[in-house]
Structure 1
Amino acid sequence: MDNKPYAPAPEENSSAAQSIPTWRKVLKTGFTVLLYLAVGIGVFWLAYQFSDAMDIVERCIAVVSATIIGVMVSMMLLSPIISWVATLLGHLLNQLFKMPLQDIVSAVFGLIVGLIIASLLNSVVGKLPVIGPYFTMLSLLVFAYMGLVLGYRKRSEFIALFNWRPVRARAGHTAPLPDVKLLDTSVIIDGRIADICRSGFLEGQLAVPVFVLNELRHIADLSDVLKRNRGRRGLDILNRMQKELPGGVMTIETDYPDMLEVDNKLLRLAQDMKATVITNDYNLGKVAQVQGVRILNVNELAGALRAVWLPGETVNVDIVQAGKEPNQGLAFLDDGTMIVVENGRSYIGQQVAAEVSSVLQTSAGRMIFAKLADKPF
């Protein structure tokens, strides 16, 4: 986890695409050299052992010829195997590079525990005369595999066992992070979170998971103009928050490859880190409540911060358009609340003083009904 600027997706994708063939090429070359070297040494040793009856010259010729022929034959026969093994190793390394460090540590820890258990069993059962050697190899393979799989599958419990908390380096030392707030895609694109953070009302460390960042970059690359602009707006907001906020925005590299939905990954990460999710998504908030994840909804915050107007109070408004009913005029407050002004149609384009008659709260928002005030505000 670190603080870093958000580079455009094409550059990242191109570098990632170039790294995979490079690693496979290096692995293929190294594996080929080692395999041919082993074949050459083996053929040389066999030819040397079976040429004892020859004199020194014939023996040298036979050994060199056998070595060259053996290497050439192995090159023809083993090339498909070498390519397959190099491709497999390159794929495995590529997957390891994508895995977070804590996942790798958990898997390796499980592997070590499995090998220790197998060694303890082998110290007793391995001494049996017939099945001992076979049991040794079988137990090592079985317990190593079980430890590796269990260590990876139970990585969340393993991390919680050691009371892991994300840390960040500051001035040459590490310190525990404050309460972490995870941002989802909707709240980043909305943009109001940047103003809330600048005002100082939100405490804790803001963080964006890598899978949310990838989804944002994917939206910014879509062919649909509206969606592409929304994605780019989100990236611009993240960059601005990274530069303007004192703590910046932390990137969390943890991912969950076994999950497909970004929302499910976000809630799982919030559970693992005991973090709070900031969102605009109403449905995500309901699912989070079921799973016991704390949610901060910016829309609910905006509704709570709207000014309260009581019947009889007067407000200055600009009539902008006609209402549905005769002689009605419509105006809007700064927070978006619509005011229906009786007999206000003739004042379209003008500012008037309106006296609040009643307030109607609906699922879509709040609506204020008013009439022209006898006295100016």
Structure 2
Amino acid sequence: MTTPVSNASEAASGGSAARGRAADVRPIIRLVRAAFVMLMILLTMLYVIRVGATPTGELSVSLAIAWWLPILVGLLLAMVFLAADVFTPTKKIQVVSGVAFGLVAGLLASWAMTQVIDLVIATWDLESDPVMQQLNIIPALKVLLGVSLSYLGISTVLQTQDEFRLVIPYVEFAKQLRGPRPVLLDTSALIDGRIADVAATGLIQQPILIPQFVLEELQVLADSQDRTKRTRGRRGLEIVAKLQRLGTADVSIDETPVSRRAVDQMLVELAAVLPASIMTTDSGLARVASIQKVAVVNIHELAEALKPAVLPGQVVTVELLRRGEHAGQAVGFLEDGTMVVAEDGEGRIGERVSMTLTSSMQTAAGRLLFARIDVGERDDPEHDPEPEPSPAPKPVRTPLGPGGERPSARNPRRG
């Protein structure tokens, strides 16, 4: 039977699969590099070797004068370009596109400037000036101007690439987000686990991305010798597996390469590049991301915002409006419309009374609160009905005797 930890471990091994795919590409890259070097040598040798025919008609093969110089230049160029390829393994299409666009813009600007320079020279007939002929500064000026404008174009594009996006096959000079911004989960959010319950409700419509380096950190924690760290790591991997099984969220593993630094810094950099927002429980990461203008959702703040307005044990003042379903109950409502059922409150209908909440119940129609009337309110003499005075006893009249005398209290039988 496959456990959630093993499923999450398989998810964490997605990065190793990606590295495996990269390893499959490496032989092809080596082959391309070798072909590049051989092509450079071949082209150089075609320049060096002179093939011709002798006066007698025989084939003649000879080397050019200073044949070693072209070969040396070709090898140096090959080494320079190979070094640039090898020492920049994490190339970004945005940077490459920016360099290409800046270079083209610089070359176009330099071409326009050289046309202006040629027009000025032809208008003022500077080519016939002996000083200009001796200095021969015009060609050098054109080359330096082209290099300078190309540098300025590349530098400008790279420094302002956040202000516009280079979209192949056209250039879009507007910073525009297409589709919902994805959500990046960090290690603390996965270990916390509440994100899985939130995603199960279907509330999160954006794509949920789990960076590969976050999975690697969870795997390191799960393999730790420390019991606490091991438990936290395995819980995070279980949450990853749970998220992947959900049908209400679009969850994927992001393998975008970023510079190897601290996980928090890598997360902020990745969120800025995509762009995406970060979901975390780490207040330090939230502050750093906010400083760098990256959107952050703190799960603790989200839980605080969703916390009920009232909790059992709190005292509320409610006007009782009508009888409840059971005998002795009365019903009132809070300002937000939450129903409050007051036990033994039937006699207080139509009054505002203070009650202490005892329990709550969530129903399909909403939240239902139960409360009891405070003892002080129940024993308040102002609200107790005044007892009616008992009627005074009526005097009993003793009937008079035959002679108008009242009968004696003595027993007549005793005389």
TM superposition score category, shorter chain reference: 0.5 to 0.7
- What's the counterpart of residue 12 of structure 1? 18
AA aligned to 1:162 is A
Q: C-alpha distance in 1, partners of 2:74/2:111?
A: 37
What are the equivalent positions in structure 2 for 1:281-296 lying under 5 Å apart?
Answer: 281-290=282-291, 293-296=294-297
| Distance change >3 Å, CA 140–CA 242, structure 1 → 2 | farther
- What's the counterpart of residue 369 of structure 2? none
RMSD, aligned α-carbons: 4.3
Q: Percent identity?
A: 26
Q: 2:199–2:248: 8 Å Cα contact kept in structure 1?
A: no
What are the equivalent positions in structure 2 for 1:272-311 lying under 5 Å apart?
Answer: 275-290=276-291, 293-303=294-304, 304-305=306-307, 308-310=311-313
Q: C-alpha distance in 2, partners of 1:76/1:268?
A: 44
Query: Secondary structure in 2 aligned to 1:31?
Result: helix
Q: C-alpha distance in 1, partners of 2:138/2:73?
A: 34
Deviations 1:68-90 (A, max 9, x none): 9x99x799968964773463253
The equivalent position to 2:79 in structure 1, one of 56, 65, 84, is 84
TM-aligned CA deviation for residue 106 of structure 1: 3.3
AA aligned to 2:193 is G
The equivalent position to 2:40 in structure 1, one of 32, 35, 41, is 35
The equivalent position to 1:162 in structure 2, one of 174, 179, 183, is 174
Q: C-alpha distance in 2, partners of 1:80/1:230?
A: 54
| Distance change >3 Å, CA 196–CA 274, structure 1 → 2 | same
Deviations 1:219-278 (A, max 9, x none): 425763455675565455345424424441356676665x94443454466567775431
Q: 2:41–2:75: 8 Å Cα contact kept in structure 1?
A: no
| Distance change >3 Å, CA 132–CA 196, structure 1 → 2 | same
TM-aligned CA deviation for residue 196 of structure 1: 0.8
Q: C-alpha distance in 2, partners of 1:250/1:131?
A: 60
The equivalent position to 2:144 in structure 1, one of 138, 149, 163, is 138
Q: C-alpha distance in 1, partners of 2:255/2:110?
A: 33
AA aligned to 1:120 is A
Kindly name which structure, 1 or 2, has the bigger radius of gyration based on alpha carbons: 2
Query: Secondary structure in 2 aligned to 1:163?
Result: coil
| Distance change >3 Å, CA 238–CA 147, structure 1 → 2 | farther
More helix by share: 1
| Distance change >3 Å, CA 157–CA 76, structure 1 → 2 | closer
Q: 1:183–1:207: 8 Å Cα contact kept in structure 2?
A: yes
Return 5+ residue gaps in structure 1 as ranges: 167-176, 314-354, 358-377
AA aligned to 2:264 is D
- What's the counterpart of residue 341 of structure 1? none
Deviations 1:282-328 (A, max 9, x none): 11223444555543222333455378221689xxxxxxxxxxxxxxx
- What's the counterpart of residue 24 of structure 1? 30
Q: C-alpha distance in 1, partners of 2:258/2:108?
A: 28
Q: C-alpha distance in 2, partners of 1:82/1:274?
A: 37
What are the equivalent positions in structure 2 for 1:205-224 lying under 5 Å apart?
Answer: 205-208=206-209, 212-221=211-220, 224=224
Q: 1:184–1:208: 8 Å Cα contact kept in structure 2?
A: no
Q: C-alpha distance in 2, partners of 1:288/1:145?
A: 32
Aligned length: 283
Q: C-alpha distance in 2, partners of 1:221/1:89?
A: 33
Q: C-alpha distance in 1, partners of 2:57/2:85?
A: 45
Q: 1:126–1:132: 8 Å Cα contact kept in structure 2?
A: no
| Distance change >3 Å, CA 140–CA 80, structure 1 → 2 | closer
Query: Secondary structure in 2 aligned to 1:205?
Result: coil
The equivalent position to 1:187 in structure 2, one of 186, 189, 201, is 189
Q: 1:28–1:82: 8 Å Cα contact kept in structure 2?
A: no
Q: 1:180–1:205: 8 Å Cα contact kept in structure 2?
A: yes
Deviations 1:180-233 (A, max 9, x none): 433223213333211111123x33303437xx4224324425763455675565
Q: 1:111–1:144: 8 Å Cα contact kept in structure 2?
A: yes
Return 5+ residue gaps in structure 2 as ranges: 1-10, 122-126, 128-135, 166-171, 317-355, 359-415
TM-score (norm 1): 0.59
| Distance change >3 Å, CA 286–CA 90, structure 1 → 2 | closer
AA aligned to 2:239 is I
| Distance change >3 Å, CA 113–CA 250, structure 1 → 2 | farther
The equivalent position to 2:101 in structure 1, one of 109, 112, 128, is 109
Q: C-alpha distance in 2, partners of 1:144/1:260?
A: 32
Q: C-alpha distance in 2, partners of 1:156/1:252?
A: 21
Q: C-alpha distance in 1, partners of 2:146/2:94?
A: 24
- What's the counterpart of residue 362 of structure 2? none
TM-score (norm 2): 0.54
State whether structure 2 residue 126 is matched by structure 1 residue 125.
no
